[in-house]
Amino acid sequence: MNRPFIEFQGSILNKEVFTTHFVCDLEKCKGACCTLESEYGAPLLEEELALIEAALPAALEYLPAEHRAEIMKNGFSENKEGELVTRSVNNRACVLVYYVNGVAKCALERAYFDGKTTFRKPISCHLFPIRIADFMGEVLRYEQFSECAPALERGKQEKVTIFEFCKEALERKYSKEWFIKLSKSIQE
């Protein structure tokens, strides 16, 4: 793969998505992607708001009191400089985070896996470490954080790339057929 990016069905994918090894290691990073210091939470799509709103009652039971209070007072989302995002608590944790043995986890996803809702989590979270930007079309790129160093190590050990690691999320976003066609395309 000599090109710095791949164009595929109207999207542009940075080659790092296909060449960088990555497998989350929550025991080492402690769910850092959900607790990075920032006033911005996870990017949200407009169409996800109603889905999250419907899933929220089931997710609330897992959240710490401080997070529930923030949601009750201000809601789970906000618009920051034209970008729709989840709220963060103390400019750190996503408002939808709960903790298990010091590891940050998503309450929406927990409710989903417990069979209490049909919405898993925002697609931006599911795709992480892939981020999608809109530059006259979708651009998929690898977003690097030093907190993810354990994931890079584990990915190398397991010989799994970001593209492979994010297979389920990419299929959710685009379709299984899209993933298969893109997989064949990059092998040519």
Please, which pLDDT band fits residue 31 given cuts at 50, 70 and 90?
very high
**Among residues 3, 5, 1, 2, which one has the least CA distance to residue 141?**
5
Is residue 2 predicted with pLDDT exceeding 70? no
Question: For the whole model, what pTM was predicted?
Answer: 0.92
Mean pLDDT of 81-109: 94
Helix, strand, coil: what percent of the chain each, to 5? 45, 20, 35
Half-sphere exposure of 175 (CA within 13 A, CB side): 4
Question: Cis omega before residue 150 (within 30°)?
Answer: no
Mean pLDDT of the chain: 93
